[in-house]
């Protein structure tokens, strides 16, 4: 389960940015194509925050829908997997615009 190591890294990032203050809310952005299971991160969060500045913090996970752009025809469309052809022209010159995110968006500290 790589979500455990990801969650530990999130806690470390949050502690660095909290500058010694207690964190009460952490908001994460997780893209549909990030390869991270949001439920697994949520499951690991409580255990990973015990004894840290995030102990007792609430985790908010914002899921980011995947969106692609076809360089062949210019279409923008929802993407459900990498290397998916353009639904408009069938081309594979598709750039993923959103959906790969894995970032700490916001911290609420006291």
Residue 77 included in any domain: no
Sign of CA dihedral 84, 87, 93, 97: negative
What domain count does the chain have?
A: 1
pTM greater than 0.85 (yes/no):
yes
% of the chain exceeding 90 in pLDDT: 98
pLDDT tens digit sequence for 25-80 = 999 999 999 999 999 999 999 999 999 999 999 999 999 999 999 999 999 999 99
Residue 31 included in any domain: yes
* Domain containing residue 8: 2-65+99-109
CATH number at 12 reads 3.30.2320.50
């Amino acid at each position: 389960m790589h979500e455990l190591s990801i969650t530990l890294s999130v806690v470390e990032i949050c502690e660095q940015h909290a500058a010694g203050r207690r964190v009460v809310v952490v908001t994460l952005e997780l893209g549909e194509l990030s390869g991270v299971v949001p439920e697994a991160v949520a499951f690991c969060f409580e255990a990973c925050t015990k004894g840290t500045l995030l102990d007792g913090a609430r985790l908010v996970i914002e899921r980011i829908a995947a969106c692609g752009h076809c360089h062949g025809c210019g279409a923008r469309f929802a993407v459900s997997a990498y290397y998916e052809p353009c639904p408009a022209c069938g081309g594979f010159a598709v750039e993923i615009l959103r959906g790969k995110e894995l970032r700490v968006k916001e911290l609420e500290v006291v």
